[in-house]
Every structure is written in structure tokens, then in C-alpha cells.
Structure 1
């Protein structure tokens, strides 16, 4: 088991946070498969959430875990590593117990990682605060892309399409998301679906002639511009030796989060940037990324501009 203050690792490592809940096990399985597919190592992190206490002059220090708590965390990680080893016997696996709260523990562990993976929420008990608000904090602040794994839904298939869906809006974060989505699609042999959402037009006034025709022309112009942007980007950024990636562009009107959720239903992965803007390709993120993370039934990768790793 690796100490929390170990030297930084290289970028060829995927970090997974676990807490014993169903979404956490799903996150671990996804992270292990991703690490094996990338030829990366896997680091499994478990947070003890030891409380802070104040010394007489007000300085806060974190309580050291008791031997019993430390032993329990170590045993849990050993079981997690064994579970991964059965599915991926050749995968290098490291485990790490942190005394900190889950979000700071994961953010520190993922500082030099290629990818961090968390479940969307936990169930309760020791480490139960790992998910929910924690997954949002990690997705917003991690130095690397973050994949949030949703819980399985009864009677519903997840990831039965071989598509990687990405939201595009022309912002730096959107470009980073498109780059990561393209690499992921090439890696798993999936199609790439780029989704751009236009804000619905205002109803025309009574004196506006041929408003429908003008609206149709605007839609066609926007669709052509987005398609050109995406295809030029893919041609420029396609990973060397990756072969062909089939690319589709969907230009829609309405609410960005709803459109992304609809387009990604059953997909292998949904990729979004962590912050968008108005302008060339309209609003995409901010509250939208939060809504997608809360409601998506498929894994969601959140990418900040500058956080994507170099090509493998």
C-alpha cells in the first residue's frame, strides 16, 4: 500500500476512488478496464475522513487514524485490488489510504494522473461522503479529466451503443473535450457524435416577413459551420495510427443538458467540457455540466481546458 505522501507518479496512471457502494464498485471496474486498455497503471484510493481537531492556539490538525480504522481501510483496499486482479491479472495496481476527506484525497492522488474515475454517489457508512457532491468537486477541480460513473438502473441497458458523444460550443474547454472524445472513440473503435445546441429562436413579430424561411436559412448556416468546425478539428487532431473514426454532427435547438442526455442515451461515454461560453457555438456548460452529471445514465467524462493528457 502506497503512503499518502509518496512521490508523484507519471501520467500513465488512472486513479479510482472507492467507498464500498455500488457506484464505487462500478467506477473501479470501469477504471480498471480503462487502465488495461491504455496500458496504464491503476491506483485505488480510499478516504478515511479523519476529523480535524484544534490545538490550544487554534491550529487545526487532522487526527491520525486508530490502528483499527487503518487496518479496516487496508483490508478494504486489499479486497478491491484482489477483485481487480481477478479481472485484469496483468494490470499494475497500487492502493492508497488517505486520512483526508474524499475530495481532497482524490484531487491530490490525481494531480499527476491521466484520468480520475469516481462513482456518482455512495450509500452510507464509512467513506459514504465520497460521492454526490464529492464527484462534482472532483470533476470541477481535478488536474486531469474525470469520469463519473452512474449507478446501474434496473431494467435499463447502459453503454450498449458504440458511440462516444461530445458537446461542442467552441470554447477552450469544449475543444479539450472534443480532443479527449476523439481519442477515446479511436481507442475503443467507436463512432464520434458531436452535439451542438442552439438556443431556441424568439417567436417572430407580426411584421417579420418570411420568418420561417429566414429561420431555416440560419439553421442551415449554423449546421454547416458546426460540421465544418468538427470535421476540420477531427482531421487535424486524429491520433496517429488510429485508423478511421466515423463522425456524426447533431445540431439541435433547445436546452443543452436535455439534448446531450437524449443524444447520449445508451452511448459508451458522454464527454463535456467543464466550462463553456456564449458566442460561436452558444452556451453549453456551467449549470449544464452539473445537470448532465446528475441525470446521465451513461459514464460522463468532464474535461477542463489544459487538463487533457498528451497523446498515448
Structure 2
């Protein structure tokens, strides 16, 4: 390939899986990460520059030396309850720092951008499965920051500037590299599958289920879980599309069907062979009963073909990674 790709947040969970695939496909990679939640060992290919997106001087120097053909942007704060407590921190990190990045890109003539967005931009959707055409109606500061950046990208792309982007709206990302080289490595996860396997491992004394009275078959929320490697592959097909001259687009990344919280818990118990304490807790504000992607667009337009649409396999890879002890 020979193309140079700058990956912000490439030492984190999703970014590190994308960097692995980029390296395996022959791309030249530079990871720009402040390592606030990422890890140096997770960068399997390319070079790591430890830097913050708020540091324009280091960012400019990195662009000047590396001269990327495209940028993939994963660096963001992502914990919803924290965003409610500290909205200014989230807006500065997720929006202002993205503006810094976009301005430096423009200064150095880099016009291709892959953005790590979220299903949180939809809030509580009126239609399920949720299409990309659904209104952006986030219900927390984290979702607001992702929606704000999407609007900036839309306006920049439509301004006459030579700039094209793909925004990928993730649903619930889980699992780990089947080869066991990278995986989730944050000490206090909020995502259900990761929390559940850590509880099975004994790191937590119990697993809480937030709400059991939703209008779903078993009363618990239903979510669309996507394996992190399939998500990484979605980034590669999006990148190839832009490099080949594709126009700006927005795509959902999910499988188009979901599992309830109780189904996930039972699957984790079955796969791990371990029972653990499960406690019913009150609903969390703003949790939609069902959040499932309409992901036909990325399959039809980019030819994305997921390989790991299997909850047991997702849990199995997450569990195997936990047993390695780096998570």
C-alpha cells in the first residue's frame, strides 16, 4: 500500500485493533496518543508519538515530519456518566481538540478523515433498527460532543474545501483480537460484556443489571454487540473508499440484531463456566429499551462483510483476553 495513516488514540481499545489491521495490510502507521487510557504495548505497528491534541506545537511537528495521507481519529473521552458530571472536560477534549486536529490537517493539506462516532448521537431513537437518517438527538454530553463533531465535519465537507470524511457510528463494541495480542485494558469498564467477564474472573463481587421492567421480552435492555475486529475491518474499507476518491458518508457499525442484558449474562456464564452474583438495580436515566443498528448501508456501499457475528465468539475472545491478565 505505502499510504501513511495517522491514528489518534491508536493506543486505546478500538484504535489498537485498527492499527493492527493497518499494519498487517501494509500501511505505514503513526499513532498519536497521550496514553491517558491507552498503552504503549498496544501499538503493534508503526511509531508512537506521545502527545495531546491540545498541544498544537507537537501536533504540527508530527504532521510536518510524517505527512499523512489520511487521519483516523479515535482520541476521545467516552464514559457517559462522567460526561454528565464533567461536561466542560468532555467538550474541550472531544470537540475543541478535534477542531485543533482538523485545523492542523488543513494547514498541511490532509483532506481525508475517518471519525470514531457513536450510536449515542441518536439518543432514544423513534425507529429500531436505527437508520443513519434518524435525527441526531443525544441525551448526554458525551453524545452531544460526537454529534457536534459530526456537524462540524458535515459543514467543512460542504464548504467547498477539499475535505472528505467518513463518520462511523459504533453500537456496542466488545471482544478482543482472536490472536490475543491486543484487547480491552481499562481498570473500571462500564460496557456490559467486559464488566461481566471481569466479574466472572473475580475482579468485581457482583454485576448490576440496570432496569428489569423495560418493554422487552425479558424486561432488560437489548443492544447490538459488534466484535471489535469486525469494527476494525469497517475502518479499513472506509479508508480504502476515501483513498479511492469516495465522497463523505456516515455509516452505522453494528450487526442489525440485538441481545438482552440477561442473554448476555447467561452467555458469559456459559462461555466462562463460572457463576457470579447478579444484582438488579434501578434503570439508568436515558437508557433506550432497544438500540439496534440498521447497518445495511455500509454493507451495500462499501462491501463490509463482518466475520464474527456471534455472541459466544465475542464473549470467548473477551474472556481469553482477560485470562491473559493484561485487561
Both proteins in one fold, TM over 0.5: no
Q: Point out the structure with max Rg over C-alpha.
A: 1
* TM-score, normalization by structure 2: 0.30
